[in-house]
Structure 1
Amino acid sequence: MKISIRIDSVAAQAHLRRWGGEFREQVRKAVARAIATEATDIKQEVREHVAGKMAVAKKSFLKGFTAKVLAKDTKRLPALYVGSRIPWSGVHETGGQIGGRMLIPLHGRVGRKRFKAQVAELMRGGNAYFVKNAKGNIVLMAENIQEHERPLAGFKRRYRKAEGVKRIKRGADVPIAVLVPRVVMKRRLDVRRLVAGRVPRLAAQIESGLRRLA
């Protein structure tokens, strides 16, 4: 997202007409300082917004959202970057659809690598099978047997919590995951609106910094 800021201050415009040399470098530094002043608050607001709109399991997801000054190019004015280091986080801002058949863990979250390893272990042991439930969904099940106590432990714990049962009998079926043809991601974030709301304050900071160069 690109946001253009027009400075209407007569004094600021007069300085900009004197563009070049030492004054240009002073302007660059003043703009960078003004942006840096706002960047810290914007970063915090964005993280609070994400935490309020999503159930965040890992703090690293929140820390991926940042706001910082881009000022390495001396031929251009500094810019404010607001975004995330996590490439797929943008889907929560726009919404979207992920195609392809996927196994989605039931009754809670499981790390992708851990989930893959647990399912693979159950498959190798012949203790993972698909059934179609009353709603027509295809569900991956596993039998509660001693041989697979370790890979089943987490699934059983989350299943008991979700269903409100204290104990699962030996030999009982435990639902592991549901097989879906696609996943539809709803729009849950509005970082664009949040940042746009801070533009007037940012513009005022930049204008104030330029005025001090008079």
Structure 2
Amino acid sequence: MKKKWFVGIIGLTMVVSMGAGAYAASNLTEIKAYLNHDIKVKVDGKPVQLQDEQGSVVIPITYKGTTYLPVRAVSNALDVAVAYDSETSSVLLGEKTDGVSIADGFYSMYHTKDPSKTSYKGKDYKDVYFDNTDGSRSSNFALNPKKKYQKLYLQVAAVGKDIEEISVHDSDTDTELLQTTVSIADGLKTIEVDIGGVDQLWVNAGVKDGGGIFIPLTTSYYK
């Protein structure tokens, strides 16, 4: 429902927050508009308060009979990723064309670039998460998409023994976004997760004694 609502509201002209330097551009035209306190916004029938990235309330603007809603506030309400490309002056909504590796800023004690640990089935992935310690355990790590992306494509391989459960949660709301299994027979399995509007993710895998988990960071990515 939210995505359908979003498609409908895209028909309205929207504005997005940009850096101060953008306002010095020569292609801007000064106008006289009005903050419209009468406009109410509902998502799936439920009232929502539009807010900017800092959590401050934002008010719709009316100009010559057209209502303008701030892109970031609407995208947050609908859990749709939004970003601004200053090089092309483009507002980017939803899933991006090009993937962004999760390797940037990734932190874990099992993060390694050791060539003896970064290969799977003859291919060297250079930069991986590889947990092959002893004992049955929870193997977990955090990711920080920071509400910039719509999808996570996580590649996972079970080593030694099947992984009976791997889950991805929204850390802020403790909402489970996906739960699945990864068997040795799956090889390098790609897990697709909807992460629109999510600031931080928590990935957890139940790994058996004698088993391990292999995640190539360079080929796991956000879009």
Query: Which structure would you say has the larger RCO, counting Cα contacts within 8 Å and 6 or more residues apart?
Result: 1
Q: TM-score range by the shorter chain?
A: 0.3 to 0.5
Could you state the TM-score of these two structures normalised by the residue count of structure 1?
A: 0.33
Say which structure is richer in strand. 2
Instruction: Specify which structure has the higher proportion of helix.
Output: 1
